[in-house]
Structure 1
Amino acid sequence: MHPSEWKKQMASARALAGRKMVFFTNALTKLVPVAAPGLGTMGVTEDWILLVDPETITGWTTEQAAAVLLHEIAHPLRDHAGRCRTMCANAELFNHASDREINDDLVAAKLDLPGEPLLPSQIGAPNGRTAEEYYRTELELLKKQPPPPKKGKGKDKGEPQPGQGQSGGDPSVEPGKEDAKGKGQGQGQGKDGKDGQPGSGDSDEKKDWSDGDKKPGPGWCGSAAGRKLKHEPDGKSKDGKAIGRSPLEVQNIRRQVAEAIKEQAAKNKGNVPGGWQRWADEILKPPKIRWENELARALRGTMATVKGNCDYSRSRPSRRQGAIGWGPGKPIISGMVSPKPKVLIIGDTSGSMGTEELSMIVRESNGILQAVGSSADFAACDAKLHVLRKCKSWKQIAQSLVGGGGTDFRPPFVEALKMRPKPDIIVFITDGMGPAPETPPPGIHTIWVIVNGYGKAPCEWGKHIIISTKPAETA
């Protein structure tokens, strides 16, 4: 088969999938398709490498290929791999559950999934539940079944445990007892080119993706679903370059999709499945800190006029000036002003800040931008200052998160004192693990936002706010 055949089918399927669910259009271009001969289906890795069996995809109709594509992209968007790890779940069983969480929406949208897709009704569960709920339901059903016969010296080896879907591993194993090696959907060494373009290292060599009598398919979708495939690539090309998406890129993709879902739902609620609307609400949930109030309180101690408070200034003439007139001999009546604070946001981008912590930087920074009502300066710092720029949106903040080295909180404060005009407020978002200046910057109010750290501030000066998955605490 000529490589162009499956790539043409892939392009057609992606275009159709984007028309079926418009809010996925951008995310679909972020997948990196790589040929995986012998896979027998599609699969997706945690770093967004889409593994495609050329023979299988060309054998499907475009409608079927589009439906499978929408199924696969839902796994990394919903972070099924991370949720599987959080539960210490059996990889095979959780992949079953995550498939059910996805497929009920696809079937409701009348999409043509090939074969026999896993659905909630097959385990007596209602639609619209989470993968975690389906996991517990199926686990209870398996516990009620008699154990399989033990292997002996006789000829009979016993029958395998029944299950919905095909995958590696033993679903009768208790959660957390099985190594999540599982199966996946793809192999390839393709180099990452432009968004949505197939990798250039596709191979025609067929591999055996099966694990005994089990083959990739329903319930075995790759590491993005929590169940890694047998020959799943490591995410790097032959020259060592990454071909997939980084965790930070994935977080940004999720947020962009969530915004597209909210926009689509505002136009026509009937076009967006309820499960995806709830997911978007969770991704776009507001910051834990009410920054408008927090910034106003901080400014009251550092400025004579703050956002939300008014004062008189001759820099803005009064509306009543016209009654008196303009020109020589006419007094100037002061007008009411409400200056906006100059805020510097500093994001800790050291190696100790994981994906969740970096996401909190984006979320809280977005709240600050909304509270300020305009732009704010943003600095990214690990052991040294990497970025200092003016940002107007969370997307610019996300693009500025550069670092990954050691930790030193002092360099951005040195730079802040050189800025003209100096910031009125510094908001430092960090896990708190690093050295800070011994004294506060003169004339600048500092707020330390400690995210998912040990609850210990790096210094005694400044205001300290601790946030995590729990409600914010202030000190």
Structure 2
Amino acid sequence: MSGGARRAPNAPPVHGGPGVLDLDKLYAARLHATRVRPYVATALFALHVVESRRVPTMAVDRHWRCYVSPAFVDRTPVEELAGVWVHEVSHLLRDHHGRSDRVARERGLSGPGERLRMNIAADCEINDDVFGDGLVRPEGAVLPRTLGLAPGELMEDYLRQFGLGPLTQGMVWLDCGSGADGLDRAWDLGPDGAHGLTEHERDAVRFRVAQGITGRPGSAPEGWRRWAEEVFHAPQPWRELLGAAVRSAAAGSGAGEDYTYGRPSRRSAGLPGVVLPSLRRRPPRVCVVIDTSGSVSDAELGGALLEVAAISRAVGGRRDLVTVVSCDAAARTVHALCGAEGIALVGGGGTDLRTGFAAALRASPRPDVIVVLTDGQTPWPETPPPCRTVVGLFPRDARDGSMDEENPDYEPDTPPPWARVVTIG
């Protein structure tokens, strides 16, 4: 068994002494934490305690085990231990290990130094608003202001804003375990160790905690409320969804199908002297209608060009089968896709994508799939086009003033039910 010694689950309580874990004190601290932060009670009691003399304080792994130093429990007041309980379980609830792994892959970060930075950044995300209101901040807790950073940001944001240096010299001891930064420790029991939670059990705990936060409005800090909203409405991988929607539309019945006499139908055998054509599958033709009205930003137009290239890959890389229409209040020239960087997006006025649909359907040959990239501030065709339609929707917030469309009472129509809608970004 890797890791430190572990007390049997059914062993009687042991009171503090030299080198012996004081479970009574530790569990009293957990009870205090549940009283002052009742919405995390489910998570606190889901943690399984593992006694270990190899951890500096308390640490967690991704399987929801909490490794505890007996010496740390002995010297720490119950009120501070309660804060450590909440801090450690916060790493797991906010999936800091999974997020650290993703950041490491995306930014090419590796090594213990970078993982220490991730642990510090994760602590900043938690500690800026988790303490107070009955929960005592433990001694040495890392705060954003300790590094000269603003509160209220996420681990990924903090990680960009500081490096290891004079301000972090006193934090080299910091180790919240693999549950905080994703890097396995020597004391971890691993996925096959006892008392670990499965992935489904971990998700169930997060969902229960999020329910507790949203069900008690005003009682949780802003960081926790934001986290709970994300648990209920997790962001979707929109690029994958858009590509899947295009592929699904292109593979649907009738899309990319035509009759040919090059290979006669097998039914011809039942009609002597008559040659029947067979149904042939061909690569689908796609027309991309890009909203170039004034309400779409330059950054969104640049992203639209990237999506055009991705759409061409979704239909097998046949750029000759992809055309692009730029459209504001009027449809512009239909471009064949040779290279996304060579497409001129012309516009800047009002929005009426009905002209874009009309231009796409006038093309010869007619497209099998129409993909519309827009912010949605447009009237839509009253009847569905005779082909599949996918709408990539740039998100808008009614509070940001971008919904006026030259009329303060303007309310854009929602995309029609006959279109498959994917929110971009």
TM-score by length of 2: 0.47
> Which structure is larger by alpha-carbon Rg, 1 or 2?
2
